[in-house]
Amino acid sequence: MTRRYFFALGVVLGACHDRSSTSAAPVPRPVDDMVRIPAGPFTSGCDAAQGCDARMTTLGPPQVRTLAAFEIDRLEVSVGDYRACWRAGPCATANDVIWARPENSGVVGHWPPALNNLDIPDDQPIVAVSALEAQYYCAWVGKRLPTALEWEKAARGTDGRPYPWGWAPPTRERTSTALAYHQFPLPRGFHPLGASPYGALDMIGNATEWVAADVGAPDHVLVAGGEAAQVAELNMLPAINEARSAVHRGVGSYTGVRCARAVAGAAPTTP
């Protein structure tokens, strides 16, 4: 009886997400893979003449904005990278913070599905993460969420194009979307023809991404880009959706993250 008890207990403990077992040695952080976005003006916002549906954005009509130089991840954060953050502690802590909030009492906490399903490859984009989890991940790697304007410039360049690759509509060669017959996330970087002018990939398709509302509102976040399951009209850039609290626990099934950081010595951005 005792032997059976300890065997069963061992199975249960082995199935749990044990953080203490990895505390002895630091978990290595992912290798940087970023693109640099130079300082200067760009055209933000969109109108019908650009191929954008203005109803799908909160950025308003076209206007010239000026940003300081910054860097942004070339690819979305991967399942493997996020698993490392979970093992290191910060991403698991973020999950605990969300589900410890009073409004979530009595509700079973969530792990992003990829953490429960070891069959999902490490090179898939991590999805179903909350805004807070995204922020904790970026802080763990020494970065932050990009602002909405930074994300938009990294995706569109300076000429007002509605898509990262230009003005042509989405196709299966450029992006993973329902329109392009890829209704599920694909391995990161699967569509090099969908690159932005600066070389960032998957800014439409695969996962939507958490971004900071602007440099003056650190407690609010937005969702940017289009996800794999969306159809054409929801993939128009800039697809920036409503502001949410940074500790908002709601997650989209295909909501992920990419991180950014300022360039050393760059002048501050004026909102």
Residue 207, domain member (yes or no): yes
Structure tokens at 228: 């794999």
User: What is the pLDDT averaged over residues 54-78?
Assistant: 82
Residue 25, domain member (yes or no): no
Residue 53, domain member (yes or no): yes
User: What is the pLDDT averaged over residues 205-231?
Assistant: 70
- Strand pairing category for 220-224 and 244-245: antiparallel
pLDDT greater at residue 116 or residue 270: 116
Residue 6, domain member (yes or no): no
Number of domains in the chain: 1
Residue 21, domain member (yes or no): no
Structure tokens at 235: 């993939």
Res. 258: pLDDT tops 70 = yes
Burial class of residue 206 in the structure, from the number of CB atoms within 10 Å of its CB (0-12 exposed, 13-18 middle, 19+ buried) = buried
Residue 1, domain member (yes or no): no
Q: What is the pLDDT of residues 146-166, one digit of tens each?
A: 988 899 899 989 988 888 898
The shares of helix, strand and coil residues in the chain, as percent rounded to the nearest 5, are 30, 15, 55
Residue 82, domain member (yes or no): yes
Q: CATH number for the domain including 207?
A: 3.90.1580.10
**pTM of whole model > 0.95?**
no
Which structural domain range is residue 178 located in? 35-262
